Amino acid sequence: MPDAGPFDTTAFVVGQPKRSKWRRYRGPALTVTTVEGTELARVTHADDSRSLLTTSSGAFVVRIDRHIRFGQFGPVRFRFTDAAGEETGTVTARGLVKTRQLCLRTEGGRPLLLTRLGQLYREWQLTETDPEEVPAPVVLGRVTVSTIDAWIGLQQYLVETDPALDASERRTVIASVVCLHLLRRPPGEGSAVG
């Protein structure tokens, strides 16, 4: 398995960097930091269907390609590829309400689900099976969404993962949070939709 980059820790913050409403912002679309604030990676949007995740020093981590079927209400699939063009993971969102559950597949082929129990929930759970099943599955991580600037509408995602996940699986989880953000706020749009 290739090097997973800066994803050896278990907690991250993925968020939109602070900016001024009065000046044109030219920085990355999202940053990935430690909880303490040390920048680990950046996300830039090449266009509406392709984003790049790089380390803070500029080294390539993963490319995120977005494929939409049947217009804005159809299923959305994200494909993660490394510098050699090899697939390192996928995320699929199905149905009319795309942001209730994301189906992840890691580089090693492990299926994971990122689910929130209802539209008003701010917390997403990372599990191997549907959280509504009985008995409830083991929670492998959590993603908590918050707004850090209500005036501009900047979003932040606190990502906490189980130490049992390896660095490449955490890389897939981080990339899936980028996908979650893209589903909620496509590039160039200012307000959340889900």
Residue 137 domain-assigned? yes
Question: Which of 17-31, 86-100, 156-170 has the weakest average pLDDT?
Answer: 86-100
What confidence tier does 39 reach under pLDDT thresholds 50, 70, 90?
A: very high
What is the domain-level CATH number for residue 125? 2.40.160.200
Alpha carbon distance 95, 9 (integer Å): 33
Residue 110 placed within a domain = yes
Specify if 192 maps to a domain. no
Number of domains, the chain? 1
Give a yes or no: residue 66 inside a domain. yes
Name the one residue in this structure whose structure tokens are 């050896």.
8
- Domain membership of residue 1 (yes or no) is no
pLDDT in tens, 124-134: 999 998 877 87
Query: Which secondary structure element, helix H or strand E, spans residue 171, and what is its range?
Result: helix 167-184
* Domain enclosing residue 98, as ranges: 11-184
DSSP secondary structure letter of residue 135? S
What's the predicted TM-score (pTM) here? Answer: 0.89
Gap between the Cα atoms of 68 and 6, Å rounded: 30
Residue 107 lies in a domain: yes
Residue 120 has a pLDDT of 80
Percent of the chain with pLDDT over 90: 60
E strand or H helix at 17, and its extent?
Answer: none
